[in-house]
Amino acid sequence: MPLLNNLFEEDLFRRFFYGGILIFLTCWMIFLYNYDPATSENYPKCIVKKTTSLDCPGCGSSRSVRHFLHFEYRKSFENNPMVFISLPFLYLYCLLVVLGVEVDGLLKKIIPKVIYARFSFLVLLILISFTIFRNLFNYFA
């Protein structure tokens, strides 16, 4: 594990790694474009959903991506708003890292300092509250 962490400070390794993520995401998107997760039986079900019948933060992500790729933005947002909002940015981030752009430095300039210093904490807070609210919403709806 320490080896891996040292490797991450090497720029080339980082670019290759994010390149791998990018290839995986692209393959997944092509697959989703062609096969509908809502009607097909062959997609793996979420374990959290199966065991607890609660929605995890990732539930509905594949449906959301499929609708997004078919330009049905409203349905995409309804299935998983977090994926709808964040996935284009994550994809762009990976792409820029692979292209060799100094993304972290760029983000530091764009995002206000108050937010940037607590960015990952905010992400954590938003994800947890999103999970709680979507389950409450499902319960009362």
Least distance (Å) between residue 91 CB and other proteins = 10
CA distance 121 to 128: 11
Nearer to other proteins, 9 or 110 (CB): 9
How many residues belong to the site for other proteins (CB under 8 A)? 42
Q: Where are the alpha helices (DSSP H) in 1-141?
A: 2-8, 11-34, 47-52, 61-69, 73-79, 81-99, 103-110, 113-117, 119-140
Least distance (Å) between residue 115 CB and other proteins = 11
Contact 38, 63 (CB under 8 A): yes
Question: Which of 122, 104, 120, 117 lies closest to 9, judged by CA?
Answer: 104
Nearest-10 Cα torsion for 58, 35, 40, 70: 60
| Contact with other proteins (CB under 8 A) among 27, 30, 111, 124 | 124
Site for other proteins in 49-78 (CB under 8 A): 49, 56-59, 61
One character per residue 85-104, x = contact with other proteins (rule: CB under 8 A): -xx--x--xx---------x
Residues forming contacts to other proteins in the complex (CB under 8 A) are 1-2, 4-5, 8-9, 14, 18, 21, 25, 28, 42, 44-49, 56-59, 61, 82-83, 86-87, 90, 93-94, 104-105, 108, 117-121, 123-124, 127-128
